[in-house]
Amino acid sequence: MKKLIVGLLLCFALFTESFAGQFSAEGITLQIPKEKLALYGFIKPSSTPQIRTLLQLSSYDLGKTIPKLSKEEMWAGSDKYLLEFLKGVERRRTGFSQSKIVHISLGGIHASKISWSGSLEGLKANGVMYCVIVGSKVISLHTQDAGNEITPNMLEAIKSIESLVLTQKD
């Protein structure tokens, strides 16, 4: 499964390199004991002074490969984990609101997507979060920036996320 994370990071690197003002890694990597959770963050200067757009990848290892599920079961699982990841964002925001979950395909794998808005230390912010289950990994992909609307930087991140190529081995 380490190959999956490396592959995802390489996809991010390839996609973000193709954009004019690329995202950069700024040492936002955290490994939790036994490698259950890995967080990777990429930032890019925002149009709002002293603010950076975030592109984050979080991977949680469930420990065993998920059995083959129907698309409805995959969406139910990705919905559940998406809302769990989103709770972490909500806890740090005031005036938090979220959209309804949308079911999409990321690289041919059933995934869930949600948008949110709220304030962080008095600054309006919004984001888009995705969740997909691949093998034994639950993967969250998240972008956020200042303001009430999707920014050009976020749009670049969204295009990168929605262009990912994922492979799932049975």
The residues near 46 (Cβ < 8 Å, ≥ 6 apart) are 52, 53, 145, 146, 151, 153
In this prediction, residue 50 carries a pLDDT of 78
- Which pLDDT value is given to residue 167? 63
Closest CA relative to residue 81, chosen from 123, 129, 119, 127: 129
- Return the higher-pLDDT residue of 31 and 115: 115
Measure Cα distances from 31 to 36, 132, 138 in Å.
8, 20, 15
Chain centroid to Cα 9, Å, comes to 12
Q: What is the pLDDT of residue 169?
A: 55
Encode pLDDT of 118-158 as tens digits: 998 899 999 999 999 888 889 999 999 999 999 999 999 99
Q: Please report, for the chain, the start and end positions of each structural domain, with discontinuous segments joined by +.
A: 2-162
pTM, entire model: 0.79
In whole numbers, what is the pLDDT of the chain averaged over residues? Answer: 79
Domain 2-162: which CATH number of 3.40.50.620, 3.40.1000.10, 3.40.50.1370, 3.40.50.2000: 3.40.1000.10
Express each pLDDT in 16-66 by its tens digit.
Answer: 333 323 444 444 443 444 457 888 888 898 888 778 999 999 988 888 777
Q: For residues 31 and 38, is the Cβ–Cβ distance under 8 A?
A: yes
The residue type at 140 = S
Residue with tokens 């984990």: 81
